[in-house]
Amino acid sequence: MIAKSHGLVVLAALGAFVGSPLRAAETVNVATPSRVIFAIPFWIAQHKGYFKDEGIEAKLEIVPSGRQMTEQLRSGATHITIVGPDATIIDATKGGPMRILAGIVRKPPLFLIAKPSIKTFADLRGANIGVLSVTEGSSKLLVKMLRAEGVSPTDLKINPVGGAPARWTLLKDGKIDAGMQPLPLSDEAEAAGFTNLGWAGKYEPDWQFTTVNANSEWTSRNPELAAKFVRALLRGQQFLFANPDEVAKIAAIELKTPEALAARSLKEAMRLGILDPKLDWSEVGLTKMYENMQADGVMPAGQTLDLNKVIDAQFLRKAQSSIAGSGSR
């Protein structure tokens, strides 16, 4: 009877062990405005299993509207955005909860691409140029390029038409005459006979174009999850710099572009310093953006940008420290 009871106890214990479910992965909802190269560390982390290593199920949503992304961060529908820091800077400096957690693109990643008949900046007079919006960063870079080349923005039409893939489609269809394009779309356009009028970084070398942003109300409730997400993202970015040819295969899949073109674009982005290997932000680049917003009247004049109000560095620093302390993981 004792032996029988003991056997039942052992079986019950084994049943409890075998039947106990594994801990479910924690979901992190991520949003970005278009399917372009700026999200490459996310895709690397996904393909290489870095999110899985951290117990994360990361879901990426394409949200073309910056306003909608900000609203989703506020509501909690989105936890992380990979987008320009403009909205985060505005919100944080006004006392809001939005914060920058990391940087991805620290120099302008855009090239001004025009239809084949346009060969010079002077040819742009009277042209219809498509932009994401008239207020976000790439539009400001466009204006800087035009003025530096002696063309007034009033000499042409600047119209909001959507993100980079939409602008490329409209340019191919002849519905716009020019538009800013990131790698590899700029290379693809040039290969197709369109005119590359130049890199925006030549005109404005310091410009924090893309950041990893979050609502501090969410990160304060989920500090470990936020740290794990940033660590997976950082592993992805570091893998890119160590293995650009392998990452070209991932980029080709995600961006639906030829692998050779993806490889060329990634190497060019690294050569120009567009992507930061440590996911750090450019303080100069953020300040330049802030000063441009002041010039536009979006932010009050006479104030300097307080980065302590805008950036929450703890998650990136923790990720950098843990990866450095464990080798390459």
The model's pLDDT over 186-201, given as tens digits with 9 standing for 90+, comes to: 999 999 999 999 999 9
Is there a domain that residue 14 lies in?
no
Q: Which residues of the chain have pLDDT under 50?
A: 1-21, 329
Distance CA 122, CA 216 (A): 46
Domain boundary among 177, 202, 227: 202
Choose among 311, 312, 234, 319: nearest CA to 40.
234
Q: Quick one: 91 and 115 in the same domain?
A: no
Is there a domain that residue 7 lies in?
no
The sign of the dihedral angle between the CA atoms of 272, 274, 279, 283 is positive
Report pLDDT for 295.
Answer: 86
Contact 85, 253 (CB under 8 A): no
Report pLDDT for 103.
Answer: 97
Is there a domain that residue 212 lies in?
yes
Distance CA 32, CA 209 (A): 13
Q: Quick one: 102 and 224 in the same domain?
A: yes
Report pLDDT for 162.
Answer: 83
The sign of the dihedral angle between the CA atoms of 28, 32, 35, 36 is negative
Q: Quick one: 301 and 215 in the same domain?
A: yes
Q: Which two tokens stand for residue 176?
A: 């716009």
Q: Quick one: 94 and 198 in the same domain?
A: no
- Cis before residue 64, ω within 30 degrees of 0? no
Q: Quick one: 219 and 277 in the same domain?
A: yes
Contact 129, 197 (CB under 8 A): no
Work out how many domains the chain is built from and give that number. Answer: 2
The residue range of the domain holding 170 is 110-202
The sign of the dihedral angle between the CA atoms of 160, 166, 168, 173 is negative
Is there a domain that residue 3 lies in?
no
Distance CA 71, CA 199 (A): 32
Summarised one tens digit per residue, pLDDT across range 95-139 is 999 999 999 999 999 999 999 999 999 999 999 999 987 776 678
Is there a domain that residue 19 lies in?
no
Distance CA 169, CA 156 (A): 20
Which residues are CB-neighbours of 3 under 8 A, at least 6 positions away?
Answer: none
Q: Quick one: 59 and 74 in the same domain?
A: yes
Look up the CATH number of the domain holding residue 148: 3.40.190.10
Q: Quick one: 129 and 188 in the same domain?
A: yes
- Sheet hosting strand 178-182, strand order edge to edge: 157-160, 128-131, 178-182, 110-114, 195-199
Q: Quick one: 220 and 309 in the same domain?
A: yes
Is there a domain that residue 273 lies in?
yes
Q: Quick one: 227 and 181 in the same domain?
A: no
Report pLDDT for 10.
Answer: 44
Domain boundary among 202, 227, 245: 202
Query: What residues pair up with 54 in beta bridges, in sequence order?
Result: none
Choose among 290, 300, 288, 294: nearest CA to 89.
290
Q: Which two tokens stand for residue 108?
A: 């302008």
Q: Quick one: 93 and 229 in the same domain?
A: yes
Burial letters 20-59, b for 16+ CB under 10 A, else e = eeeeeebebbbbbbbbbbbbbbbbbbbbbebbeebebebe
- Sheet hosting strand 56-62, strand order edge to edge: 56-62, 26-32, 80-83, 210-215, 98-105
Is there a domain that residue 141 lies in?
yes
- Predicted structure pTM score: 0.86
Distance CA 180, CA 141 (A): 9
DSSP letter (8 states) at residue 231: H
- Burial of 325 from C-beta contacts in 10 A (0-12 / 13-18 / 19+): exposed
211 by DSSP, 3-state: which? Answer: strand
Contact 82, 159 (CB under 8 A): no
- Tell me the residue type at 202: K
Q: Which helix (H) or strand (E) holds 41?
A: helix 40-47
Q: Quick one: 247 and 308 in the same domain?
A: yes
Domain boundary among 178, 202, 226: 202
Q: Quick one: 175 and 253 in the same domain?
A: no
Is there a domain that residue 147 lies in?
yes
